[in-house]
Amino acid sequence: MQQSVLTTVMLPAALALIMFGLGLSLTPRDFANVATRPKAVVIALVAQVLLLPAACFGLVVLFDLEPLLAVGMMLLAASPGGTTANLYSHLFGGDVALNVTLTAVNSVLAAFTLPVVVNLSLAHFVGDGQDIGLQADKVVQVFAIVLVPVAIGMLVRRFAMAFADRMDKPVRILSAVVLAVVIIGAIVQERERIGGYIAAVGLVALLFSAISLTVGYWLPRLFRVERRQAIASGMEIGIHNSTLAITIALSPSLLGNSTMAVPPAVYGVLMFGTTLVFGYLVRRRRDITEADEPLTADT
């Protein structure tokens, strides 16, 4: 019963709250803003949809992860940016408006691309004909759990902006509490094997986090996107929505596999450290560059 309540009620509720809270901060203008910064948005989306799944595939093959853990990593790679990207971007001098735009677009795009990546991963790593993929009916469910709470949150903001502003912080706190309870429950459920899972996937998750942040920042810089937007891209691409990945992995109506939930759960803990280090490094680089500019101008 404990497992059923966790996977069928509490985890979907946590995700719904998180996505609803995201919707409370979005307006239709955020989607329209794609046209005002097309280069930064397109580069970030290419990194999110194509480069990171490819990089993750290379890591799981290189480290020879067991099939279900490999699928869990690919599920994480296909998930859109996490909701904490905006906070980290603000803390380290990123363009938060770009984060909001990328979050909005990524959330919609992931409803289509995530099932494709998961099904291809299952076919490659599991490949035994098991009917555990995301077929048409399950794709609709993924679409619903990603977009419906966001749409409801946007409607609330549209017709009750003051209420949306007041509810932003309580919704974030409540969703974090519910998610913590679910993760603790999942750890208890897998307590006999959790040490082995962390040993098996911890390094891969850590490397994937570092690669995501690095690609998210340096790919835009390579194409001469200005630094604040590159920082925003790094945060958005580097912080994956592990809650969404865990929900899809554990939900009995979707994948229903606790092993697949291990990589996003491990990543969800490790990525806070890698993101802080990344933020410090790009902030320090920006400060050094700005300090050098007057000297350069004088010479």
pLDDT tens per residue across span 13-65: 766 777 787 777 777 776 666 677 788 889 998 999 899 999 999 999 999 99
Residue 184 belongs to a domain: yes
Q: Helix 194-222 to helix 67-78 angle, to the nearest 10 degrees?
A: 40
> How does DSSP assign 32-78, residue by residue?
HGGGGSHHHHHHHHHIIIIIHHHHHHHHHHHTT--HHHHHHHHHHHH
Q: b/e string for 143-160 if b means 16 or more Cβ within 10 A?
A: bebbbebbeebbebbeee
The predicted pLDDT at position 286 comes to 61
Residue 297 belongs to a domain: no
Residue with tokens 């909701």: 83
Residue 294 belongs to a domain: no
Residue 145 belongs to a domain: yes
CATH code at position 77: 1.20.1530.20
The predicted pLDDT at position 205 comes to 93
Kindly give, in sequence order, each residue whose CB lies less than 8 Å from that of residue 109, ignoring residues fewer than 6 positions away: 45, 48, 49, 80
The predicted pLDDT at position 142 comes to 62
Q: Helix, strand, coil proportions of the chain in percent (round to 5)?
A: 85, 0, 15
Mean pLDDT per 10-residue interval, the chain, length 299 residues: 53 71 73 74 90 94 92 92 74 79 80 85 76 54 70 85 80 69 66 74 93 94 90 90 82 78 86 87 68 43
Say what the pTM is.
Answer: 0.76
- As a whole number of angstroms, the distance between CA 278 and CA 283 comes to 8
- As a whole number of angstroms, the distance between CA 260 and CA 252 comes to 12
How many structural domains does the chain have? 1
The parent domain of residue 200 ranges over 2-287
Residue 276 belongs to a domain: yes
Give, for 123, the enclosing helix (H) or strand (E).
none
The predicted pLDDT at position 76 comes to 93
Kindly give, in sequence order, each residue whose CB lies less than 8 Å from that of residue 225, ignoring residues fewer than 6 positions away: 39, 40, 43, 233
Residue 295 belongs to a domain: no
Phi-psi region of 224 (alpha: psi -120 to 50; beta: other; left: phi over 0): left
Residue 299 belongs to a domain: no
Residue 298 belongs to a domain: no
Angle at 25 between CA 47 and CA 43, to 5 degrees: 15
